[in-house]
Amino acid sequence: MLDVKRLTKKYNKVKAIDDVSFFIPDGQVGVIMGPNGSGKSTTIKSIAGLLRYTGEVSIQGFENRSIEAKKVFGYVPELPTMFPLLTVREHIIYTLKAYGLPIDEEKIEYLLDTFELKDKENKLGDELSKGMMQKVSICCALIIEPKVLMLDEPMIGLDPKAIRELKKMILELRDKGVTILISTHMLEMVEGLWDTIVILKNGKVMGQFDKDMAEGKNLEEIFFKVTGDEDV
C-alpha cells in the first residue's frame, strides 16, 4: 500500500511537483504518466525518501523514511548507478547483506537467468552497458522481495526480452499482493499492465483513474481527454 498526501517539492523556488496526492492499494499496479518534466521522477524520489519535500508519504502504513518502510520497498531509479568494482553477482549479494537477508543462491540464479545476466555475472559495474545496469538494478530491487516496488521509466534501455520478462514479473508480483508504482511517458509501455493511473502535468495531478472507471477506453483516450492536448 502506498499513500501519498499533498507532496510538494521545490528546487530552489521552482515547484517541480505541487500538492500531489494518490493512493495505490495492495496488489495493484499504479502508473504515473506524464510528459517529460512533469514531475514523475521527483515524485518517486520523494516517496523513496531521497529528496526534501513537504507532504506525507506512507509505505505499508509506515512513514517512508522509517526503517520499517525501508525494509519493504524496492526502488529502481531512472538512471542506474553501479559500484564500479563490484561484479553483477556481488551487487545482488551486497543488497541482500545490506537488508540483513540470507543469501539465497536459487533466487539469485533465477533472476540472473530471467534477465539474461548469467554470462555477465562476473563483469564489473563499470564494464556494463546502460541496459545491463538497468537489469542489475531491477534484480537488486526484486531480490529483497519488496512489498512495494517503484520503477522509474523501467523499460527505457531494456531489450524486448527483458521488457517482456519485467512485465511478466510485475503481474506475478501484483498477484502476490505487491504494490507497484511505475512511471512512464510512453503510454504503450503500460497498456495491459495498469490498475490505476495518475496523470501528471506540470507537477500537478490532473486525475487518477481506476481500470474499472475506464469504461473500455484505452490509455491513450484517457490521457488525451484528461490533459486536453496532443503533444505527447
How near is the Cβ of 40 to ligand ADP at its closest, in Å? 3
CA distance 29 to 48: 17
CA distance 86 to 92: 10
CA distance 202 to 15: 9
How near is the Cβ of 150 to ligand ADP at its closest, in Å? 13
Distance from the first to the final alpha carbon of the chain: 30
* Number of residues near ligand ADP (by CB under 6 A): 10
Binding letters toward ligand ADP, positions 41-80, x by CB under 6 A: xx--------------------------------------
DSSP element (H, E) containing 69: helix 67-72
Kindly tell me which residue out of 4, 7, 16, 158 binds ligand ADP, with binding defined by CB under 6 A. Answer: 16
- Choose among 112, 156, 110, 102: nearest CA to 130: 156
Q: Which stretch binds Mg ion (CB under 5 A): 32-40, 60-68, 138-146, 188-196?
A: 32-40
CA distance 171 to 192: 10
How near is the Cβ of 88 to ligand ADP at its closest, in Å? 27
Partner interacting with residue 34 (select from ligand ADP, Mg ion, none; CB below 5-8 Å by kind): ligand ADP
DSSP element (H, E) containing 90: helix 88-98
Residue number with CB closer to ligand ADP (76 or 88): 76
184 binds Mg ion (CB under 5 A): no
Residue number with CB closer to Mg ion (78 or 116): 78
Q: Which stretch binds Mg ion (CB under 5 A): 22-30, 35-43, 48-56, 110-118?
A: 35-43
Backbone angles phi, psi at 183, to 5 degrees: -105, 145
Greatest pairwise CA separation for the chain in angstroms: 51
Interacting residue ranges for ligand ADP, rule: CB under 6 A: 11, 16, 34, 36-42
